[in-house]
Structure 1
Amino acid sequence: MRSALRERGYVRLLLLSPLLGVPVSVACFFLVGFQQELQHWVWESLPEAAGHRTPPWWWPLPALLLAGLVLAPIVTRLPGAGGHVPVHGLGGPPAGPRAVPGVVLAALVTLPLGVVLGPEAPLMALGSGLALLALRGGPAGDPRTVAVVGTAGSTAAISTILGGPLVAAVLTLEAAALGGSRMVLLLLPCLIASAAGALVFTGFGHWTGLDIGDLSLPAVPPGTAPDAGDFLWGLPAAALIAVVIAAARGLGLRTLRWTGRYTAVRTVVCATAVGGCVAVYALLTGRSPAEAALSGQNAIGGLAADPHAWPVAALVALVACKGVAWGIALGSLRGGPIFPAVLLGAASALACSGLPGFGTTPALALGIAAAAAAVTGLPLSSAVLAVLLMGRAAHDQMPLIVAGSVVAFVVAQLVRREEAGAAPDARTTPDAGVRPGAGAD
């Protein structure tokens, strides 16, 4: 450990880390900011201009058809295939510089149209691609340096959308699956890069006024300490959430195999099917289809601020329709899997919160942690994410958060059936290096 810290190459890497974090953060800021502006235009300004107070139930059908038509040539013709397939979680090798244009184009065009996926995976691909570009040789250099630099770039990028460097650092540490000094040596440049990036990201938000749509809860229900009833209902609810997430992932794996042939046409078909699921949600509930179509970071804020505004039937419909749409998107479209899963987990737990002795605040905290653990396979990172999102209310909920994340992780691993012959990760491209990443496996 001490000898490694004295190595000139490693010292240079630490000094380079904040220089990596700054441009990565600036690029991520404008990607997310423009994506949010396009999202507002598609789901708010355009329906209002057409004379609708909210998007009508059929709005997702042409939007998702357009997303499929745009995404099909990106997946089949551009280097990197528009990013990794989200059913593989956040894992796989980092995207090399050649893959960045396709990743950015896919995220910037399709996410605002409502592909039921989040921005976190494209951001990580953008971060690793820009970081590897700084090496001027990409993956042709020392493999260890490539791995650390790519991971630092991805960590700096993901920290911008997860509320700061802490969650990103814990996620990196847990996902790296390294031990002792090797883990520390990997984590130090990631911490420095993500801290520098988070500072720039926050400053640009105040300077430009752009909405970045990060995963946050501006308000949560009044906190109460969990009691026996919360654990009695909460732990089975965590197991249920894990089953829902695992079932959606199984659908994603089957969709991935199906799109292995005639990829362009079947990508359009899958995108249209996602739009159909979202339209069914709007028809069943009379609510805006944007609640089911978008990634979830905005919807979960509204859900947490006023959970009683959502009838139980609407929550169940959201879990069913968005869950099926998300499962299809996992194996065919491009984006991140975490944000939609968190919304599904929160909605599932809040739908159960009317059970005797199961409080709203404990249900929300448990739902976030359980869903994140089930989709990422990282129970510690998921618990930290839930604690940070819940804010002051998290102090009393921490035992339930930790227990729920562990239960969901174990159940997800037990019920998950890895499908033989699944197609390889689309991010495994010739210009990609090797990064220990957070995945569903």
Structure 2
Amino acid sequence: MSARTVVSSASSSAPSPMELLRSRGYIALLVLGAVIGAPVAIVAYFYLEAVGRAQRFFLTDLPHDLGFAGTPVWWPIPMVAVGGLLVGLSLRYLPGTGGHNPADGFVAGPAVSARDLPGVAAASLATLAFGAVLGPEGPLVLIGSGLAVVIARLLKRDAPDKALVVVGASGSFAAISTLLISPLAGAFLLLEAAGVGAGMASVVLAPGLLAAGIGALIFVGLDHVTGFGTFSLAVPNIPTLGAPTVGQFGWAVAIGLAAGMLGTAIRRLAFQLQPYVSRRVLLATPLAGLVVGGLAALFAAVSDKGPEQVLFSGQDALAPLIRQAGTWSVGDLLLLVACKSLAYSLSLSSFRGGPTFPGMFIGAAAGVALSHLPGLPLTAAVGMGIGAMTVVMLGGLPLTAVLLTLLFLQADAINLISVVIVAVVVAWVTAARLSPWLRPRPGR
């Protein structure tokens, strides 16, 4: 759901923010936002639980059920290929486009109609469950938006289009905020993605914040009722970082430059492959899945780590990677960054999901590898790597990149903030300077 559209729609009707705030219709929107937050959060909760269970089943339980002592090294190859085939079938035969193009970064795009919801759900579940390297945040935004509009139409069939725009944005807020630790993190992401500003933003998007707050309460309640656990992404028990040093600021510049180049290369390859994928989607998506699975198998065969480090978005593997940094060799970390980056690029080109978490994981892995160098503590290296890669893979959004990094590493946020900001800004500017090279020229 586009928050920019929300603001444009509201601005075209001319009333000031205070006039909207005092109107009876605005109070109704606030109430509707609170009502919508609960069902959207429930759907988001069970969507994430279904993804987690499906990932465990296809990677761990299924090979055991088929008689294997463990997961064979080659197992990811057919699994991700099957996911690619299912994604291709959903893109070909279900209405809509299956969601946003993840290679574009995080984009607050147009609303999703009820007709398009099955395609978004099918393509994203096939992507996430079978191991493609994308996250759930993009589909959650679209599913939350579409569900909110459906609920609003059921409650009030003659609801005006402008109200439905705000309601859809509220659904997006509720869905994404349940994943990104807090309602404020979701607000930052959607506001910055849409380029919203001025006094109208607070008035128009307040129903979304209310929906997000209600959704967060629902998540806590469902955790107690179901016992499935929470989806908090904060990393506990990280090494303590002291005050930043001059050397760490130098490292922040270097990491920002490297992330700007690596992230741009990942997106460039995805954009180069997309024209071929779109012409032969039923062939290209399974083929991309085969290569992604092959990269995971290669990593598992060469290292002493599992293929899940390369597969999936990395959101569940991020905290263990940081906490168990001492068990990783530099060679394995560099191989992980290379394999995950290539698998990420292929997934961006062919599958449907969100671009945030794989970039964060790659940044963290690179940070752990760099922390073996002098003058670069582990926590600082990981924070700078996460922030710098996040801003590039989101297609900008520096405020969100800084906020997400500090929320993930919140135990040392105060000491991290200055060097993370430097790394994020340098990566953002580097990627902007490289942007003319990002997309291949037409006809090539």
Structures share fold, TM-score greater than 0.5: yes
> What is the CA–CA distance in structure 2 between the aligned matches of 1:140 and 1:357, rounded to whole Å?
63
Q: In the alignment, what sits opposite 1:419?
A: 439
Give CA-to-partner distance per residue, 1:388-423, whole Å, 9 cap, x none.
Answer: 111221111111111111111111111133426789
SS in 2 for 1:404: helix
Residue 392 of structure 1: aligned partner: 411
Match of 1:199 among 217, 232, 237: 217
- Is residue 162 of structure 1 aligned with residue 195 of structure 2? no
RMSD of Structure 2 on Structure 1 (CA): 2.2
What's the counterpart of residue 98 of structure 1? 115
Letter paired with 2:47:
L
Give distance in 2, aligned partners of 1:58 and 1:245. 28
CA contact (8 A) 1:14 1:192 kept: yes
Question: What is aligned with 2:207?
Answer: 189
Deviation at 1:346, TM superposition (A): 0.8
Instruction: Please give the secondary structure, in 2, of the residue aligned with 1:135.
Output: helix
> Please, which of 278, 291, 295 is the counterpart of residue 273 of structure 1?
291
| C-alpha separation in 1, matches of 2:46 and 2:115 | 20
Query: Following the alignment from structure 2 to structure 1, what is the Cα–Cα distance between the partners of residues 209 and 94?
Result: 32
State the partner residue of 1:305.
323
Structure 2 unaligned regions, length at least 5:
1-16
Aligned pairs for 1:102-117 within 5 A: 102-117=119-134
Of stretches 196-205 and 76-85 in structure 1, the one that deviates more from structure 2 is: 76-85
The aligned residue for residue 130 of structure 1 is 147
Query: Are residue 317 (structure 1) and residue 335 (structure 2) matched?
Result: yes
Match of 1:379 among 390, 398, 402: 398
Distance of 2:323 and 2:111 partners within structure 1: 36
Instruction: Flag the 1:353–1:111 CA change in 2: closer, same or farther, 3 A.
Output: same
Instruction: Name 2:29's counterpart in structure 1.
Output: 13
SS at match of 1:298: coil
Report SS of the residue matched to 2:376. Answer: coil
Return the letter of the residue paired with 1:32. L
Q: Distance in 2 between matches of 1:21 and 1:67?
A: 31
Question: How many angstroms apart in 2 are the aligned matches of 1:340 and 1:166?
Answer: 22
Residue aligned with 1:362, SS: helix
**Whole-angstrom distance in 2 between the partners of 1:39 and 1:394:** 31
Deviates more, 1:182-191 or 1:214-223: 214-223
8 Å CA contact 2:90–2:98 kept in 1: the answer is yes
Partner of 2:9: none
Confirm or deny: 8 A CA contact 2:81 2:285 kept in the other structure: no
What residue in structure 2 maps to residue 336 of structure 1? Answer: 354
Q: CA deviation at 1:284?
A: 2.4
Distance 1:278 1:409 in 2: 29
State the distance in 2 between where 1:216 and 1:174 align.
22
Q: CA offsets per residue over residues 32-55 of structure 1, 9 Å max, x none?
A: 111111112222323444566653
Output the TM-score relative to the length of structure 2.
0.90
* Distance in 1 separating the partners of 2:223 and 2:402: 27
Structure 2 letter corresponding to 1:46: L
Q: Which moved more, 1:139-148 or 1:33-42?
A: 139-148
- Could you tell which deviates more after superposition, 33-42 or 50-59? 50-59
Q: Is the 8 A contact 2:113 2:146 kept in 1?
A: yes
- 5+ residue gaps, structure 1, are 424-441
Contact 1:119 1:336 in 2 (8 A): yes
SS in 2 for 1:297: coil
Verify the 8 A CA contact 1:270 1:332 in the aligned structure 2: yes
Cα shift at 1:18: 1.2
Moved more, 261-270 or 277-286: 277-286
Matched, 1:288 2:306: yes
Please state if 1:231 is matched with 2:249: yes
SS at match of 1:215: coil
Does structure 1 residue 2 correspond to structure 2 residue 22?
no
Q: Deviations over 1:171-218 (max 9, x none)?
A: 222223133112112331121111111110121122112245453313
Return the offset for 1:327. 0.4
CA 1:49–1:219 in 2, change beyond 3 Å: closer, same or farther?
farther
Q: Structure 1 residues 305 and 52, CA, compared in 2 at 3 Å: closer, same or farther?
A: farther
Q: Could you say what secondary structure the match of 2:242 adopts? A: coil
Distance 2:33 2:254 in 1: 43
Task: Tell me which moved more, 339-348 or 304-313.
Answer: 304-313
Q: Which amino acid aligns with 1:383?
A: V
SS across alignment from 1:173: helix
Q: Does 1:59 align with 2:75?
A: yes
2: CA distance, partners of 1:349 / 1:238: 11
